[in-house]
Amino acid sequence: MDYEVARVNMIEQQIRPWNVLEMQTLNALSEIRREDFVPAQYKDLSFADVRIPIGDGPISDGRVMLEPKVGARMVEALGLKPLHKILEIGTGTGYLTALLATICGHVTSVEIDQQLIRQADINLAMAGITNVELVQSDCFAFCHNPAEHGSQFDGVLINGSVPEIDKTFRNMINVEGCVVGIEGYDPAMQVVVYRADGSRRSLFETSVPRLMNVDDKPSFTF
pLDDT in the model for residue 222: 40
Q: Is the pLDDT of residue 30 over 60?
A: yes
Would 222 be classed as within a structural domain? no
Please check whether residue 46 is in contact with residue 6, taking contact to mean a CB–CB distance below 8 angstroms: yes
Would 77 be classed as within a structural domain? yes
Q: Per the structure, how many domains does the chain have?
A: 1
* Number of Cβ atoms within 10 Å of the Cβ of 198: 8
Query: What are the beta bridge partners of residue 87?
Result: 108, 156
- Show the 3-state SS of the chain: CCHHHHHHHHHHHHHHHHCCCCHHHHHHHHHCCHHHHCCHHHHHHCCCCCCEECCCCCCCCCCEECCHHHHHHHHHHCCCCCCCEEEEECCCCCHHHHHHHHHCCEEEEEECCHHHHHHHHHHHHHCCCCCEEEEECCHHHHCCCHHHHCCCEEEEEEEEEECCCCHHHHCCEEEEEEEEEEECCCCCEEEEEEECCCCEEEEEEECCCECCCCCCCCCCCC
Would 93 be classed as within a structural domain? yes
pLDDT tens per residue across span 66-101? 999 999 999 999 999 999 999 999 999 999 999 999
Would 63 be classed as within a structural domain? yes
Would 123 be classed as within a structural domain? yes
Rounded to the nearest integer, the mean pLDDT of the chain is 92
Band of pLDDT at residue 193, cut at 50, 70 and 90: very high
Would 168 be classed as within a structural domain? yes
Amino acid at the residue 62: G
12-23 average pLDDT score: 97
Q: CATH number, domain at 79?
A: 3.40.50.150
pLDDT in the model for residue 29: 98
Would 180 be classed as within a structural domain? yes
pLDDT in the model for residue 150: 66
For 56, the domain range is 3-206
Would 212 be classed as within a structural domain? no
